[in-house]
């Protein structure tokens, strides 16, 4: 991008956003950093974000740019946490990071950046934006990053044309090792900092512990897919499809005890029952799925039927599939996805994301 812009860079205190800021400064843009406080719940470690904020301050000082500190805890609580608790309580397994990108990072953050007079909002996401022209109409498209292992388009598939036109992903054309090398060459304080994992902005907190603060445990039966009761669960919200449960079931017809592990294959929310089976249980696999609330990144749906590739979870290898024409199910627009191979542990509430020739077409929630 040759034209010099006024850019607000979201700086998390990590190496990726640090290098993103550095690249924009090097390119001659008017850069200001912003550290976003999104989660700071009472009763927990106060100001758990402060260490990252100090790192962001050090990087900003090294680059000679100003760093703002902005508070979005209210927006995050209303638009991400409320949704997350509701979905888990209903027995589904949501992906808060997808909604965080849609409503917070490229919703509330972007709105604030524009209000402050910035032309663009930049982040340290691993993704590539390209502007394509067809029949004199320009559209902004989302493509996979150069580093396949770090690619984050799965989490960005809900973004719209209006959002993508106003954002920059400076490190999308680099691999993670290259980003580390750049950080060291530039003398950035975060060059050797380890990556943080876990829920967006919340960190490495055990999910059951996090959910138990808001969702009341409701015990129920654990039932084999064949119908036999084999135990009791502590609440459907605390389990996800494909998860291994702490029960071993004996294999019959052997003179000495042998056991096979059991996995969650389904949830019966009406009966509050957790259905389990062995690793090859038919209920654990699906050849077709229904996907609702589709967002097409280009602003309109492609032609159907469509042969493409689909990803059901972050970093899952792309799966070949055929998509049939949009239809309505319970007054909600949906698509039906037929996979070439059976898919293990398809999880309602998670997202199915579609790809074609490296482009992220969009996706929606697994019904």
Annotated catalytic residue 200: yes
In a domain, 344, yes or no: yes
CA distance 8 to 26: 15
In a domain, 1, yes or no: no
Does 276 lie in the same domain as 340? no
CA distance 82 to 60: 33
- pLDDT computed for residue 329 by the predictor: 58
Q: Which of 280, 297, 323 is the last residue of a domain?
A: 280
Three-class secondary structure of residue 66 per DSSP = coil
Cβ neighbours of residue 73 closer than 8 Å, sequence gap 6 or more = 37, 38, 39, 40
In this prediction the pTM is 0.91
Note down pLDDT in tens along the chain; length 367 residues. Answer: 467 899 999 999 999 999 999 999 999 999 999 999 998 765 454 556 888 999 999 999 999 999 999 999 999 999 999 999 999 999 999 999 999 999 999 999 999 999 999 999 999 999 999 999 877 889 999 999 999 999 999 999 999 999 999 999 999 999 999 999 999 999 999 999 988 766 665 666 677 778 888 898 899 999 999 999 999 999 999 999 999 998 766 655 444 455 788 999 999 999 999 999 999 999 999 999 999 999 999 999 999 999 999 999 999 999 999 999 876 656 678 999 999 999 999 999 999 999 999 999 999 999 9
- From the number of C-beta atoms within 10 Å of its C-beta (0-12, 13-18, 19+), residue 362 rates as buried
Q: What CATH number is given to the structural domain containing 223?
A: 2.30.30.280
In a domain, 136, yes or no: yes
In a domain, 252, yes or no: yes
Does 292 lie in the same domain as 271? no
Does 149 lie in the same domain as 13? yes
Q: What CATH number is given to the structural domain containing 331?
A: 2.40.30.10
Does 227 lie in the same domain as 104? no
Does 158 lie in the same domain as 46? yes
Structure tokens at 124: 């340290």
- pLDDT computed for residue 137 by the predictor: 86
Q: Which of 48, 200, 308, 360 is catalytic?
A: 200
Does 289 lie in the same domain as 259? no
Q: What CATH number is given to the structural domain containing 198?
A: 3.40.50.620
- Are 97 and 38 spatial neighbours (Cβ–Cβ below 8 Å)? no
For the chain, the distance separating the N- and C-terminal CA atoms, rounded to the nearest angstrom, is 40
Does 315 lie in the same domain as 274? no
- pLDDT computed for residue 89 by the predictor: 92
CA distance 362 to 352: 9
Partners of 30 in the β-ladder:
6
Host domain of residue 332:
284-366
Nearest Cα to 25, choosing from 209, 236, 222, 188?
188
Q: What total of structural domains would you count in the chain?
A: 3
Structure tokens at 7: 């850019």
- pLDDT computed for residue 69 by the predictor: 97
Does 135 lie in the same domain as 24? yes
Does 304 lie in the same domain as 176? no
Does 197 lie in the same domain as 238? no
Does 152 lie in the same domain as 19? yes
- pLDDT computed for residue 210 by the predictor: 82
Three-class secondary structure of residue 22 per DSSP = helix
CA distances (Å), origin 222, targets 131, 266, 296, 365: 51, 11, 39, 27
Does 189 lie in the same domain as 64? yes
In a domain, 45, yes or no: yes
In a domain, 178, yes or no: yes
Number of Cβ within 10 Å of residue 43's Cβ equals 6
Tell me whether the omega of the peptide bond preceding residue 261 falls within 30 degrees of 0, making it cis. no
- Phi first, then psi, for residue 47 (nearest 5°) are 60, 45
Sequence-distant contacts of 321-330: CB under 8 A, at least 24 apart: 323/354, 326/294, 326/301, 329/290, 329/292, 329/367
Is the four-CA dihedral 102, 103, 109, 115 of positive or negative sign? Answer: positive
- Are 109 and 36 spatial neighbours (Cβ–Cβ below 8 Å)? yes
- Are 188 and 22 spatial neighbours (Cβ–Cβ below 8 Å)? yes
Q: What angle do CA 277, 270, 216 make, to 5 degrees?
A: 90
């Amino acid at each position: 991008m040759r034209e010099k812009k006024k850019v607000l860079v979201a700086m998390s205190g990590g190496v990726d956003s640090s290098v993103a800021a550095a690249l924009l400064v090097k390119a001659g843009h008017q850069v200001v950093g912003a550290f976003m406080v999104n989660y700071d719940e009472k009763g927990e470690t106060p100001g758990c974000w402060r260490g990252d904020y100090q790192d962001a301050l050090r990087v900003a000082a090294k680059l000679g740019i100003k760093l703002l500190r902005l508070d979005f805890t209210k927006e995050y609580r209303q638009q991400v946490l409320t949704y997350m608790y509701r979905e888990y309580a209903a027995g589904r397994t949501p992906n808060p990071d997808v909604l965080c990108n849609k409503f917070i990072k490229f919703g509330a953050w972007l709105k604030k950046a524009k209000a402050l007079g910035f032309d663009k909002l930049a982040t340290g996401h691993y993704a590539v934006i390209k502007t394509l022209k067809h029949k004199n109409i320009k559209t902004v498209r989302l493509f996979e990053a150069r580093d396949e292992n770090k690619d984050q388009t799965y989490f960005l598939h809900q973004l719209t044309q209006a959002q993508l036109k106003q954002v920059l992903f400076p490190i999308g054309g680099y691999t993670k090792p290259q980003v580390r090398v750049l950080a060291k060459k530039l003398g950035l304080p975060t060059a050797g900092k380890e990556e943080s994992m876990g829920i967006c902005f919340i960190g490495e907190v055990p999910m059951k512990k996090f959910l138990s603060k808001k969702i009341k445990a409701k015990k129920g039966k654990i039932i084999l897919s064949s119908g036999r009761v084999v135990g009791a669960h502590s609440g459907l919200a605390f389990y996800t499809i494909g998860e291994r449960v702490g029960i071993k079931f004996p294999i019959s017809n052997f003179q000495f005890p042998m056991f096979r592990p059991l996995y969650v294959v389904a949830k019966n929310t009406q009966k509050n029952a957790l259905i389990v089976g062995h690793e090859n249980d038919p209920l654990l696999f699906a050849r077709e799925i229904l996907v609702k609330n589709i967002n097409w990144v280009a602003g309109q749906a492609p032609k159907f039927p469509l042969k493409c590739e689909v990803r059901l979870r972050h970093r899952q290898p792309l799966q070949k599939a055929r998509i049939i024409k949009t239809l309505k199910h319970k007054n909600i627009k949906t698509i039906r996805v037929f996979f070439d191979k059976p898919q293990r542990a398809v999880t309602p509430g998670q997202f199915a994301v579609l790809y074609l020739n490296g482009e992220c077409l969009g996706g929606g929630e697994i019904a």
